[in-house]
């Protein structure tokens, strides 16, 4: 017998023995066995294969868009829009009809990107050239159409990488829409500037809340018919959140970010992290001798960290993603969060307005402090250093991918 | 039915959570029961997992900030501090970190990290030496000396991050050597890529040979994959450069080196498919090889179309379709290879 069947059986029998399942339910499950048809293989699961699919589809789409849009009969906006819609429709039909075929799936992906490019390009031409709409109105209409199309495609185009792109495009279009609407709001210019300055930190908070919800609901997603939406939504929100955090760093002058709101974003993200930490401690409350003390210590640690990191929202966003990634077995999220954490910490020290010597003191002090915390926490929690040396930070859990 | 709760080893059944989720999706397993099952099979993190995570994170981050601080401190070149004090401080740091590694033991993560800190501080010592004596030597010598001085620790450390530091130092040494002694002209470009390729491919080969002794610390494939990626990227670039130069009226190809890099490239691709397709199954290596092949094919096609003045809409559309076709073919091939591995492993299990 296949050992995998034995372990599935063991789990079901254990669930029955602990009265989580009735005898009839257990037998029914064992009879069905739930060996999934081999629709997902190692190739489908590997993130680098997905990246490869995405990049090659983009390259193909760039050639196709350049080629199709330079055809003489597609020069006008309306024709481009119709051609884009036709290609999008063809891509969808192809994707649904030939889901199992790798070649046709790849072709449908590239065709969809081409169709989107032509559709949005044509629509923009209609708005700006044919209808000669005022710029502010046209930008909002275009952003709205991009957002609506991407949301629709997210649900109806059954491909993880395509859906991930839809989340990113829809978010960017949403941001453009918000900025454009705020800019043209009938308010005094000082108030508009104030609102625009508050937007990046507030958006960062919004994406972080979304990220927290999606990843915390991972089990529910996987147990429902929406399971295939989790990975693109979860990773898409993480990319958009980190992108917004990067924008607050590099375009702070251009965006004229209101530092008051950046401070609020840091506090908000720290609160989300504290909320997550409290949930984790609650999960193991019966294993702590003093769970309240553990909670209090974590809150104090986060509060103390907020003092030097009050205007570095990126570090908090990365910490939140790191803890979420670890808790929910999101190995890729864990890797992404680690990279961004290192980047944001590096940037924090780089941008400190003090001499190199004082920076070195700050770095050495922070390093020693973290090692002391580790020493103390190690005694409090108890851990095997030998085990850590054998395994990585994230032992293999057989990550489930949508 | 047994009343004995069974803790299932999650590593023995990597698709078990997937099967449990599948059972839940069909309504056979309610959410609370699913959550209990996931905890039982070790999919949900335990308190011990969290302790390990926090300890590892704090250790790595603490050590990184500490070493960065030391680098910054000596980069400031504080004139108030006597040079003997500077040397003394760094040397004390090296002895302290190495001593701590010895005290903690190299079987512990903290011992390995201490040894890595000591290896990094050797670089600080050499930099302070360079600051004070101003010998005028090329900077590649600093990196060369640094690599040579820590090689013993790298060998006994059995720690991937320390190996990463060592291999990165070797790469920097090789690059700076060419830049500072020969310059990065067309000849230099070919030569430096050849050297970097040989360096990374050589390390990768040694790694794979050593890996056959089934050492625990070598199980993680991150470092060999990075080495493979770097080796493939540095050998793909000169071949792409050669292709772009063919037919160009301003072509500046070094014929001998162009042939050498092309041969090295062909040998690498063949070796990747034989080693990682048949002997040591590694989908990542096969994927990057496919990607590299497609990149070269597209470069060649663009060059051919440009030379033949075929850059109209139809040519662009054809190019797009070719890319789709090649990517589809590559994924199909990866799928077949992966399926053949699964069939082989099932055959071995039964």
Q: Does B96 touch chain A (CB under 8 A)?
A: no
Q: Inform me whether the C-beta atom of residue A13 falls under 8 Å from chain B C-beta atoms.
A: yes
DSSP result, A215-236 = HHTHHHHHTSTTHHHHHHHHHH
Residue whose tokens read 């508050």: A198
Q: At what angle do helices B47-75 and B83-104 cross, to 10 degrees?
A: 160
Helix%, strand%, coil% for chain B, nearest 5: 80, 0, 20
- CA dist list (Å): B193 to B189, B234, B237: 6, 5, 8
Asked if the Cβ–Cβ distance from B328 to A14 is below 8 Å, we say no
Q: Walk along chain B (350 residues) and give the pLDDT tens digit of each residue.
A: 334 334 444 344 557 888 888 888 887 788 888 888 888 888 889 888 998 999 999 999 999 999 999 998 888 877 778 888 889 999 999 999 999 999 999 999 999 999 999 999 999 999 988 888 877 778 899 999 999 999 999 999 999 999 999 999 999 999 999 888 877 776 678 888 999 999 999 999 999 988 877 677 888 889 999 999 999 999 999 999 999 888 666 666 777 888 999 999 999 999 999 999 988 889 999 999 999 999 999 999 988 888 887 778 888 899 999 999 999 999 989 989 988 887 777 666 55
Whether A355 has its CB under 8 Å from any CB of chain B: the answer is: yes
| Chain B contact present for A45, CB below 8 A | no
Q: Which residues in chain B are contacts of A373 at CB distance < 8 A?
A: 58, 62
- Own/partner pairs for B310-319, CB < 8 Å, 24+ apart? B312/A70, B313/A66, B313/A67, B313/A68, B313/A70, B313/A71, B314/A67, B315/A67, B316/A63, B316/A64, B316/A66, B316/A67, B316/A70, B317/A63, B317/A64, B317/A67, B317/A68, B318/A67, B319/A63, B319/A67
Any chain A CB within 8 A of the CB of B266?
Answer: no
pTM of this structure: 0.84
Angle at the Cα of A31 from the Cα atoms of A25 and A35, rounded to 5 degrees = 110
Minimum distance, in Å, between the CA of residue A10 and any CA atom of chain B: 7
DSSP calls for B51-115 = HHHHHHHHHHHHHHHHHHHHHHHHHTT-TTS-HHHHHHHHHHHHHHHHHHHHHH-TTSHHHHHHH
CA A78 – CA A76 distance, rounded (Å): 6
Domain ranges of chain A: 1-35, 47-184, 197-402
pLDDT in tens, A304-340: 888 888 888 899 999 999 999 999 989 899 999 999 9
* A-contacting residues in B 229-258 (Cβ below 8 Å): none
User: Distance from B323 to chain A by nearest Cα, in Å?
Assistant: 5
Determine contact, residues B112/B164, Cβ cutoff 8 Å. no
Contact check, Cβ <8 Å, B349/A28? no
Chain B residues touching A294 at Cβ < 8 A: none
Q: How far apart are CA A378 and CA B51, in angstroms?
A: 7
How many Cβ pairs closer than 8 A exist between chain A and B? 335
Record the tokens describing residue A104, joined without a space. Answer: 């046709």
CA distance A131 to chain B (A): 28
Give residue for tokens 């050992």.
A3
- Chain A residues inside the 8 Å CB shell of B108: 385-386, 388-389
A residues 378-397 lying closer than 8 A (beta carbon) to B: 378, 381-397
Parse chain B into domains and list their residue ranges: 1-44, 47-153
Assembly ipTM = 0.82
* CA neighbor of A140 nearest in space, from A191, A185, A109: A185
């Amino acid at each position: 017998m296949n050992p995998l069947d034995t372990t599935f059986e063991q789990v079901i029998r254990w669930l029955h023995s602990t009265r989580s399942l009735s005898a009839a339910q257990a037998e029914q499950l064992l009879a069905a066995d739930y060996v999934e048809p081999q629709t997902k293989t190692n190739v489908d699961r590997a993130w680098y294969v997905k990246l490869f699919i995405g990049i090659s589809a983009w390259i193909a789409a760039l050639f196709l868009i350049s080629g199709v849009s330079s055809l003489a009969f597609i020069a006008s906006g309306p024709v481009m829009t119709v051609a884009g819609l036709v290609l999008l429709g063809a891509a969808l039909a192809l994707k649904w009809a030939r889901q199992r075929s790798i070649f046709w799936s790849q072709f449908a992906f590239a065709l969809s990107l081409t169709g989107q490019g032509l559709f949005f390009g044509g629509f923009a031409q209609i708005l700006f050239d044919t209808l000669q709409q005022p710029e502010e109105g046209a930008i909002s209409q275009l952003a709205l159409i991009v957002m609506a199309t991407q949301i629709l495609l997210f649900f109806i185009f059954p491909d993880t990488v395509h859906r991930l792109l839809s989340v990113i495009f829809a978010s960017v279009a949403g941001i453009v829409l918000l900025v454009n609407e705020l800019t043209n709001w009938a308010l005094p210019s000082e108030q508009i500037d104030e609102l625009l300055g508050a937007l990046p930190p507030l958006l960062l908070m919004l994406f972080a809340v979304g990220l927290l919800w999606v990843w915390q609901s991972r089990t529910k997603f996987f147990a429902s018919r929406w399971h295939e939406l989790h990975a693109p939504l979860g990773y898409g929100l993480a990319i958009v959140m980190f992108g917004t955090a990067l924008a607050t760093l590099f375009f702070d002058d251009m965006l004229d970010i209101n530092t008051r709101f950046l401070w609020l974003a840091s506090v908000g993200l720290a609160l989300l992290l504290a909320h997550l930490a409290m949930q984790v401690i609650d999960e193991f409350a019966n294993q702590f001798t003093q769970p309240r003390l553990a909670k209090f210590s974590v809150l104090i640690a986060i509060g103390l960290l907020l003092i030097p990191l009050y205007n570095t929202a990126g570090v908090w966003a990365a910490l939140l993603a790191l803890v979420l990634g670890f808790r929910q077995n999101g190995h890729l999220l864990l890797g992404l969060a680690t990279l961004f954490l290192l980047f944001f910490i590096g940037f924090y020290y780089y941008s400190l307005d003090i001499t190199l010597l004082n920076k070195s003191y700050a770095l050495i002090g922070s390093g020693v402090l973290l090692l002391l915390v580790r020493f103390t926490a190690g005694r409090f929690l108890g851990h095997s250093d030998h085990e850590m040396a054998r395994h990585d930070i994230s032992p293999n859990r057989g990550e489930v991918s949508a | 039915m047994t009343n004995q709760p069974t803790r299932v080893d999650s590593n023995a059944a990597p698709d078990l959570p997937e099967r449990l989720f599948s059972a839940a999706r069909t309504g056979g397993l309610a959410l609370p029961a699913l959550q209990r099952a996931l905890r039982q099979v070790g999919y949900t993190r335990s308190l011990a997992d969290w302790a390990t995570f926090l300890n590892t994170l704090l250790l790595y981050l603490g050590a990184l900030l500490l070493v960065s601080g030391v680098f910054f401190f000596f980069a400031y070149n504080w004139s108030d501090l006597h040079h003997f004090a500077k040397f003394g401080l760094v040397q004390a740091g090296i002895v302290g970190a190495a001593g701590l590694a010895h005290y903690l033991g190299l079987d512990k993560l903290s011992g390995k990290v201490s040894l890595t800190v000591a290896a990094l501080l050797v670089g600080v010592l050499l930099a302070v030496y360079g600051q004070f004596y101003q010998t005028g030597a090329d900077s590649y010598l600093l990196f060369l000396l640094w690599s040579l001085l820590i090689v013993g620790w790298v060998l006994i450390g059995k720690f991937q991050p320390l190996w990463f530091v060592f291999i990165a130092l070797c790469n920097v040494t090789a690059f700076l050597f060419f830049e500072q002694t020969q310059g990065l002209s067309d000849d230099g470009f070919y030569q430096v890529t050849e050297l970097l390729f040989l360096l990374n491919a050589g390390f990768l080969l040694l790694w794979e040979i050593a890996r056959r002794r089934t050492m625990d610390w070598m199980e993680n494939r991150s470092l060999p994959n990075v080495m493979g990626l770097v080796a493939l990227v540095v050998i793909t670039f000169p071949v792409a450069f050669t292709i772009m130069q063919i037919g160009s009226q301003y072509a500046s190809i070094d014929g001998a080196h162009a042939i050498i890099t092309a041969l090295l490239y062909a040998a690498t691709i063949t070796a990747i498919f034989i080693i990682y397709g048949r002997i040591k199954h590694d989908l990542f290596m096969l994927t990057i090889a496919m990607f590299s092949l497609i990149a070269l094919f597209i470069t060649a096609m663009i060059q051919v179309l440009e030379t033949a003045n075929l850059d109209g809409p139809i040519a662009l559309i054809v190019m797009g379709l070719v890319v789709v076709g090649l990517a589809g073919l590559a994924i199909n091939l990866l799928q077949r290879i992966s399926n053949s591995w699964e069939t082989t492993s099932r055959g071995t299990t039964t």
